[in-house]
Amino acid sequence: MNKRTALITGATQGIGYYFSRIMARNKVDLVLIDKNEDHLLELALDLYQRYGVRVKFIPFDMSKNNAPFVVYNDIIKDGFHIDYLINNAGVGDGGYFHEIDWEKEREMINLNVVCLVQLTKLILNDMVKLGKGRVLNVASTAAFQPGPNMAVYHATKAFVLSFSEAIANELKNSGITVTALCPDPKQSGLQHLAEIEVNKLLKMRKLPKDWEVAEFGFHSMIEGKTVAVNGFMNRLLLNTMRLFRKSTPGHPYAKYPVSNNE
């Protein structure tokens, strides 16, 4: 049996950390990417010792220009073929759009959108040649609505969702699936922005644990689901927003579908 390999960006924190553990538990070799070299080394050693999988780690800032090409060339040089691509790396920022420093916005767009698209294109070309593969892109429930005071973040996640759905359709019957996982924003790049004001109803919700989101995302990817929204409350809120917007003539999000994938 050929060994399988997963590439995971943002691999050492949040749901990315648990994606790494889940893959290793399933005897999948790993290519782990994150900015923090110390955390990568610690995680790689633990996964190798605990599960006996091969682990390559690349300490790299994926928001840098052409980062995906650097990473891809490194992977190819070492003879890896990627069976599972998990684009988890992401960042968020909050505030009035006209006041936020452009470099922060540029970094967000590069990491959340440009890096994700470039890396997906590079890995997907190889998957298509072999006629098999799984891609999971971490979007967010923020993808389903505009976000005042987080305008660019919400827009980047809307892009990820739309992009994932489109290429999933293109790859239908190819042996390759693409899944957009839509966790809560605080689990998809906004972990450090606890001070941002959020809707009171959202504050009242009990969020699933990061490991629960990762398990849900993993199974959704394996099952080939296109859009995966975890948690009854998340789906309820999203469908409520969809219905509300249907009552607002001309609203661009009025007919946006919310998939029930749990």
Give residue limits of the domains in the chain: 5-232
| C-alpha span between 128 and 118 (Å, rounded) | 15
pTM: 0.86
Contacts with 100 (C-beta within 8 Å, 6 or more apart), sequence order: 93, 152
Res 232: pLDDT? 61
Measure the CA–CA gap between 85 and 154, rounded to whole angstroms. Answer: 23
CA gap 230, 213 in Å, rounded: 7
At 63, is the secondary structure helix, strand, or coil? coil
The pLDDT tens digits for 30-88 are: 999 999 999 999 999 999 999 999 999 999 999 999 999 999 999 999 999 999 999 99
Q: Which two tokens stand for residue 183?
A: 């966790």
Query: Would you state the torsion angle of the CA atoms of residues 42, 47, 48, 49, taken in this order, to the nearest 10 degrees?
Result: 90
Q: Which residues contact 133 (CB under 8 A, 6 or more apart)?
A: 82, 83, 84, 85, 123, 124, 126, 127, 175, 176, 177
- Find tokens 């959704």 and name the residue: 220
Helix axis angle for 151-170 and 116-130, nearest 10°, is: 10
Q: Which two tokens stand for residue 137?
A: 């892109």
Task: Give me 259's structure tokens.
Answer: 């998939």
* CATH number listed for the domain at residues 5-232: 3.40.50.720
Q: Which residues are catalytic?
A: 153
Q: What is the pLDDT of residues 169-228, one digit of tens each?
A: 999 999 999 999 999 876 555 544 434 444 444 555 567 899 999 999 999 999 999 999
